[in-house]
């Protein structure tokens, strides 16, 4: 009996020793799964994570779910309401937040802070430079971004907007290609399209039905409205209000001072304007017209062309069938009628009514005092 008890006790001791050895060599059991949404960060790489409320720190991970936080590089995130802190990651979903560079985001209502990111979707907010954004209703703050879409709000410089309409752009040296109904405020912007509203300085517009406010802008197109000074316009049926503007085209309306026009059917209101073309109507002071069928109203107007009418003081007309009414007018041509004082006429069929008029030609009629006529068939 004693011998049997010794054998049993020895077996029990051996089992206890073996159990202790196993406990020393085996790894601890895994932690329970995260279900509270406030789990501790997991530092790991090359893992696939599913679920909600995970906090992942690492690289080259794939995460599918919502409400997760990922910190690292080259991670792939699919889901909504996730936070990505890092670069070179790919995010697919909506209402995600990304901070970093060289990320690719596809979805809506995402917030992106960083540079050289690619964002595809709508209603995203992007802050940074050198980003590419494709979509509508996005808000961008930064420079040198490439935007393709409509109804976007862009604030910054050197941004490029392609094939977009109804965008709002505020900055300098932005480029809009093939865009309509855009609102642009800034300097040295380039706009190609129609029905855009541009306000600023040194902007360049190519298109029709644009509204331009500011100075030193260049506009090429038709039916544009320009309000400002020192603008250059090339096109037809443009309306200009301001001073020092240069126009080249037809059927343009100009109101202001020191404007220069080249074309036909232009209307000018202001002072010191220069019109080069046909059928121009000028109202102001010190206007100069080159062309035919011009009407000049004001003082110190100079007309070179045919069938011009000048009303004012010290007008000089060179051409045919011109009518000058004022003081100190000089006419060289045929069929001119001068009404005023000190008019000098050289040509044929001129009629002068006033004082101190001089006529050299044939068939001239002068009524007044101190008139001197050289030629034939003059009635004085």
Least confidently predicted of 17-21, 103-107, 152-156, 178-182: 17-21
pLDDT given for residue 31 in this prediction: 42
Radius of gyration from C-alpha coordinates of the chain: 41
Position 349 in a domain: yes
pLDDT classification of 339: cutoffs 50, 70, 90: confident
Asked if the model's pLDDT at residue 33 lies above 70, the reply is no
**In-domain check, residue 57:** no
Do residues 235 and 254 make contact, with C-beta atoms less than 8 angstroms apart?
no
pLDDT score for 122? 92
Average predicted confidence (pLDDT) for the chain: 82
Asked whether residue 89 carries a pLDDT value surpassing 70, the answer given is yes
3-state secondary structure 331-365: EEEECCEEEEECCEEEEECCEEEEECCEEEEECCE
Is there a domain that residue 207 lies in? no
Nearest one of 371, 368, 306 to 334, comparing CA atoms: 306
Q: Please name the residue ranges forming H helices in the chain.
A: 2-25
CB 125 within 8 A of CB 142: no
CB 232 within 8 A of CB 219: yes
162-171, 180-189, 365-374: least confident range: 365-374
Cα–Cα distance measured from residue 71 to residue 21, given in angstroms and rounded to the nearest whole number:
40
Give domain status of residue 325, yes or no: yes
pLDDT band at 40 (very low <50, low <70, confident <90, very high): low
What is the token pair recorded at 104?
């690719």
Nearby residues of 108 by Cβ (< 8 Å), 6 or more positions away: 94, 95, 121, 122, 123, 124, 135
Average pLDDT over residues 164-183: 90
What's the token pair of residue 34?
A: 């995260």
Question: Nearest-CA neighbor of 234 among 243, 242, 224?
Answer: 224
**pLDDT tens, position by position, 204-219:** 999 999 999 999 999 9
Residue 177 has pLDDT above 70, yes or no: yes
d(C-alpha 279, C-alpha 228), whole Å: 24
Q: What's the mean pLDDT in 6-17?
A: 46
Q: Is residue 334 part of a domain?
A: yes
Phi/psi at 41 (5° precision): -60, 145
Residue 255 in domain: no
Confidence band, pLDDT 50/70/90 cuts, at residue 153: very high
Contacts of 294 (CB under 8 A, 6+ apart): 275, 278, 279, 280, 281, 282, 303, 305, 308, 309
Residue 356 tokens read as 């101190």
Predicted local confidence at residue 26, as pLDDT: 40
pLDDT of residue 22: 37
DSSP string, 38-91: -PPPEE-SS-EEEEES-EEE-SS-EEEEES-EEEEES-EEESSS-EEEEES-EE
- Domain count of the fold of the chain: 1
- The answer to whether the beta carbons of residues 275 and 291 sit under 8 Å apart is yes
Is residue 143 one of the residues assigned to a domain? no
CB 118 within 8 A of CB 131: yes
100 φ, ψ (degrees, to nearest 5) = 155, -170
Among 348, 354, 351, 303, residue whose Cα is nearest residue 326 = 354
Domain that holds residue 368: 312-380
Q: Measured at the alpha carbon of residue 139, what is the angle toward residues 190 and 216, in degrees to the nearest 5?
A: 20
pLDDT tens digits, one per residue of 110-150: 999 999 999 999 999 999 999 999 999 999 999 999 999 99
3-class secondary-structure state, position 250: strand
**Structure tokens that stand for 238 in this block:** 């443009």
Lowest average pLDDT, out of 57-61, 142-146, 201-205, 248-252, goes to 248-252
| Between residues 142 and 24, the one the model is more confident about | 142
Asked if the structure places residue 257 within a domain, the reply is: no
User: Residue 1: what pLDDT?
Assistant: 52
Does the model's pTM come out above 0.85?
A: no
């Amino acid at each position: 009996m004693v011998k049997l008890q010794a054998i049993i006790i020895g077996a029990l001791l051996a089992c206890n020793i073996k159990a202790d050895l196993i406990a020393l060599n085996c790894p601890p059991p895994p932690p329970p799964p995260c279900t509270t949404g406030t789990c501790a960060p997991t530092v790991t790489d090359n893992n696939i994570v599913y679920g909600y409320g995970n906090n992942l720190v690492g690289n080259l991970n794939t995460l599918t779910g919502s409400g997760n936080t990922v910190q690292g590089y080259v991670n792939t995130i699919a889901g909504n309401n996730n936070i990505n802190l890092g670069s070179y990651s790919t995010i697919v979903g909506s209402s995600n937040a990304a901070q970093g560079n060289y990320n690719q985001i596809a979805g809506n209502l995402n917030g992106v802070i960083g540079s050289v990111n690619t964002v595809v979707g709508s209603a995203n907010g992007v802050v940074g430079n050198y980003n590419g954004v494709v979509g509508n209703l996005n808000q961008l703050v930064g420079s040198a971004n490439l935007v393709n879409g409509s109804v976007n709000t862009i604030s910054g410089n050197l941004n490029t907007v392609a094939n977009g309409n109804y965008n709002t752009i505020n900055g300098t040296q932005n480029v809009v290609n093939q865009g309509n109904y855009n609102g642009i405020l800034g300097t040295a912007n380039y706009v190609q399209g129609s029905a855009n509203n541009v306000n600023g300085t040194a902007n360049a517009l190519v298109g029709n039905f644009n509204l331009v406010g500011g100075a030193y802008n260049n506009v090429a197109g038709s039916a544009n409205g320009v309000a400002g000074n020192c603008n250059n316009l090339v096109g037809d049926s443009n309306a200009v209000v301001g001073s020092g503007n240069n126009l080249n085209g037809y059927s343009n309306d100009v109101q202001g001072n020191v404007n220069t026009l080249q074309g036909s059917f232009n209307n000018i209101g202001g002072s010191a304007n220069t019109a080069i073309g046909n059928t121009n109507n000028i109202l102001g002071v010190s206007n100069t017209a080159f062309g035919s069928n011009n009407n000049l109203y004001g003082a110190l107007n100079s007309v070179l062309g045919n069938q011009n009418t000048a009303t004012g003081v010290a007008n000089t007309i060179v051409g045919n069938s011109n009518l000058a009414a004022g003081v100190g007018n000089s006419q060289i041509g045929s069929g001119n009628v001068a009404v005023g004082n000190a008019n000098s006429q050289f040509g044929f069929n001129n009629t002068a009514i006033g004082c101190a008029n001089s006529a050299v030609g044939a068939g001239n009629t002068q009524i007044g005092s101190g008139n001197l006529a050289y030629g034939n068939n003059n009635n004085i």
